[in-house]
Structure 1
């Protein structure tokens, strides 16, 4: 695939400063793609005409959308802007493609699920979002699925950490230098995911699989408390982590108590089993955080 696509452009919306977008840009370039990384200043998300003109000029070989309104608590009251980025923009993007044959990868979230089960969520499980963020992301999925896009990939993922932008792990490491003890929620369970792994796994979808809806996350599960504890241990921090309940850390938007994602469909389609999140976290801590510190 590398040789076949060295003369094609991959357009990455959110590729300039986004956490996942930057990882995709790096991985695509390593795989031989010419990459156009776009930021918010490059795209009028509210204009169908501008978006259509942009993609017509760029003539992409593949399009990746990492743009989203991800401020989960703020979305509860800023519904209009959340819907603009999470539902309207993906729909406009799909309509703006020069050809329905162009591969499109749109990233969605574990927040489309309500967290009311205790087994990992598969792509066939019924979404029941409990937040504005989750609801608008699900609306974005549905809007794209209604279009006649022959190579549409919707990738749900979760709990991202990686280089290039502040995330939960980097924030915990920063706070550990300022405090002797951190209080972290232990009764929310999910799938920690390394952005560079996610980017690499995503490219395998374009190479090997039919279009469709997939879940991709590093394997295993963790609570926020477990993720923080493992990160601080790898970092060599003496800061202690105290487990608390979500009720002790109230937030405007209620997070899913359980949102572990099942990678089976992805693994069956590609032959790849995502590696465990602690291994990925070790790479992030050792290769990214320490090198920048």
Structure 2
């Protein structure tokens, strides 16, 4: 899964709006759309089968934006991506707002990536059910009292899955995500990776999003986000060995190679 951030303030510095500003150019909607399409096409050529589009930074301390502003960022991009990409490439909308999800799905998105696992917006489950699309349910520990991190993630995800099923979202439409770096400490993130296989008890495909996260930078001596590729590669390989089925990444070419080698070893697929 390749990440397309339509934001001015992505933690990893890859937001398409911020890239324009850093290059001394004024940002227009047309510019951002063209950059997003080019980036997504490159990701697909490099091996991505999902494109994840986000319009609001999820880094700690990032300012919140309205559903209207978020929609204005992502909807034109998703429309352009759907027109430019093969139907075999799935587009996910990274949002926890039901209004944004609804507009993105109408625009052509294929699934929803909810970083609050249906726990933030009470209307989200209904939107997903109405559109009959899959949903990625992420465990988010930011407002959660933690004891044992893996047990806490399991409880959070079980709650989210129960809510989804109660809203008549089919079991086969559920994907889980342990939420690496969302309200978790460095030690908890390492424990999460070490014990990731325990989440298989939930019986659903698992997405892992470790790419360029600050915990990797800390382990490697304070490396900047742009210097965390090797650390990301290690977490991707370890995650696949522990049962991850989808990895959400910034550096698609390199990580696709890591995935291919890991799948050859773990799943015998090559």
Answer yes or no: same fold by TM over 0.5: no
Q: TM (normalized to structure 1)? A: 0.36
Larger radius of gyration: 1
Instruction: Choose between structure 1 and 2: higher helix proportion.
Output: 2
Q: TM (normalized to structure 2)? A: 0.38
Q: Which has the higher contact order (CA 8 A, sep 6+)?
A: 1
